[in-house]
A = this chain, B = another copy of it.
């Protein structure tokens, strides 16, 4: 609750080998800084236009597989309105999903850890079939 003079730390991490789908990366994020501040906020940006980041249920893997099934149906491949089709059937849907789910989240830090709810985890959302390495910028204010 008390005010402090604040500080900033920034780092970049690379995720690799994630296949198309929704993946829990809470522990990857927690390991990105060796020390966490007592109070602060963390901003995460996914530096790609066909991947996203969100917060959702961290326990039952069926939630993550249902995300894939439902969002793939909501934003289908080969929709007749698409004209941007040269980079593959999964490309334009991936761009749309990235903006519907989002590429950037901001999470509070409290008592030296990410202040997420009990059931909340951080999802990395890979929307391409073969997305390759993905870079995330993490900026910590405290």
Contacts and interface: CB of A to CB of B under 8 A. Distances in A.
Interface stretch (A13-21, A23-31, A60-68): A60-68
Contacts of A83: 62, 65-66, 69
Given A40-B139, A66-B92, 13 more contacts: A1-B10, A2-B9, A47-B120, A48-B119, A49-B56, A55-B103, A62-B83, A66-B95, A66-B96, A70-B81, A100-B100, A115-B137, A141-B141
24 contacts: A1-B9, A2-B9, A3-B7, A3-B9, A5-B5, A6-B7, A8-B39, A10-B110, A43-B106, A45-B106, A45-B108, A45-B115, A45-B116, A48-B119, A49-B57, A49-B119, A66-B82, A66-B92, A67-B96, A70-B75, A70-B81, A100-B101, A108-B137, A115-B137
